[in-house]
Structure 1
């Protein structure tokens, strides 16, 4: 079923939208099934779990860190991570740059914009987001590159509220893209709201349960 699910999703979404298969809590055997369908983009929310899977699985897999990023854990993924989605402080950005320098590679990341008013959601408000991306601190960083933004909508049945949050994310993305040619990723949308996210301009979606079934916590 995993192969059928992933192929059906890829058939459904526009070509310009990148699908990240969220494999957190799933066994490596499930990831291999998806990988054998030709898919190489996988997301994890715990650095330790991602590291174990990185060691065991094919090295052409592109690993995305989609969970909240703790600065003291960044060093454990700096040598291989393809994209870090959840940067929400200048401190984390500086650590990412430092670890990139140690590994002599530029680490790509997304700043997390707070789309929802839910207290449980991490992220930067618009003012803080722009302060970081336009800061002299970031200008001086040579081993980290902000590629765009990531956002999570409210967990609600109110479709209009979700739509407004995604439109806000797209507005900020469009504004920063005008000033920086490196900005090309808008990561919004998960299993329950990805269609609406794509309608609102998202070009990267993070899908777990539709591909792998419900998560085992």
Structure 2
């Protein structure tokens, strides 16, 4: 099946309120352009340099999402163009994004990553860290970032009950956190779900899914 066929099949199955991020990491520009020609405008990359290279080569109406773990020293390379940074998990990283956004005269949208998986390898904040971050004075001073939502990744397992439990937990945190409004925090995106579990994620309240292999095929 072609990329365009895969993409349109997924798009027609998604509810209207759910945003599709096409995870295009490691894929060549020709593959991304096939998805673009089929109407896709949001692409997710996990390496900043690769994303910057593709941004330079591709049409400028694309929204680029940084979905990988972000190193502070690389933020400057994506600050001129990135639309949304998914995996933000520390005040230090937010301060660097804020600094680089200011240099580019922009406000950069971010999702805070919440730790929900039962795996040591996943990054993220727990509920206490999230609350103390969002209510801290240091956070409120950041004028060039906007927290627009939360994201999380479930444990890599075939146990659907466990995945559902983790997604439900994140939805509960999301509903609580939505009430914490400030000038730089208006939470309305809940990003959870990937190729293997996005339907379950949507049932649990996800408003943004990150899908790669079901569109582009397996990784190169």
- For the superposition of Structure 1 and Structure 2, which TM-score range results when normalised by the shorter chain? over 0.9
Q: Deviations over 1:93-120 (max 9, x none)?
A: 0001101110000000001001102011
Select the residue among 205, 208, 213 that pairs with 1:201: 205
Aligned to 1:121: 122
Question: How far off is 1:178 after superposition?
Answer: 2.0
Q: Give unpaired runs (5+ residues) of structure 1.
A: none
Q: Deviations over 1:165-196 (max 9, x none)?
A: 00111111111112327111100000000001
Aligned to 1:210: 214
CA distance in 2, matches of 1:130, 1:23: 32
Q: Counterparts in 2 of 1:72-111, with a 5 A limit? A: 72-111=73-112
Mean CA deviation greater in 83-92 or 129-138: 129-138
Aligned to 2:24: 23
Q: Counterparts in 2 of 1:35-184, with a 5 A limit? A: 35-180=36-181, 182-184=186-188
Q: Deviations over 1:63-117 (max 9, x none)?
A: 0000001111101000100000010110000001101110000000001001102
Q: Alignment RMSD, CA only? A: 0.8
CA distance in 1, matches of 2:131, 2:144: 20
Aligned to 2:194: 190
CA distance in 2, matches of 1:153, 1:108: 23
SS at match of 1:111: strand
SS at match of 1:109: strand
SS at match of 1:189: coil
Q: Give unpaired runs (5+ residues) of structure 2.
A: none
SS at match of 2:194: coil
CA distance in 1, matches of 2:143, 2:42: 25
CA distance in 1, matches of 2:126, 2:180: 19
CA distance in 1, matches of 2:8, 2:125: 34
CA distance in 2, matches of 1:31, 1:193: 23
CA distance in 1, matches of 2:79, 2:63: 13
